[in-house]
């Protein structure tokens, strides 16, 4: 697992899930892999699902890892664009 995937997994490990849900089992499995530093890599589907869960539970973990999450990258770019637009308007006055 990459350091970004480990960071996402650790953040998701602190979230609350419905009892017996696939999401909970998936995250708990990844947390144990990250904890014991097994050298296994995630498949593309697992990585995509991890990113989707990371975005879905963003209100619970409150972390944004822009380099790991494409949605977080998009949101950060939009925020930067709005800030630049505000600064341009302010400087024109």
pLDDT tens column, 6-17: 888 888 888 888
Q: What domain count does the chain have?
A: 1
Predicted model pTM:
0.64
pLDDT of residue 72: 66
Return the biggest CA–CA distance within the chain. 58
CB-based contact 4:68 (threshold 8 Å): yes
Residue spans of alpha helices (H) in 1-93? 3-12, 22-35, 44-56, 58-61, 70-92
Amino acid 65: pLDDT: 63
Residues of the chain with pLDDT > 90, as a percent, come to 5
Domain containing residue 32? 3-92
């Amino acid at each position: 697992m990459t350091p970004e995937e480990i960071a996402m997994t650790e953040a998701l490990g602190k979230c609350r899930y419905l009892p017996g849900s696939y999401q909970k089992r998936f995250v708990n499995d990844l947390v144990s892999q990250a904890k014991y530093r097994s050298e296994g890599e995630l498949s593309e589907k697992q990585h995509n699902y991890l990113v989707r869960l990371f975005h879905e539970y963003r209100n619970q973990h409150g972390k944004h890892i822009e380099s790991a999450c494409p949605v977080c990258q998009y949101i950060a770019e939009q925020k930067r664009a709005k800030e630049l637009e505000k600064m341009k308007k302010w400087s024109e006055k």
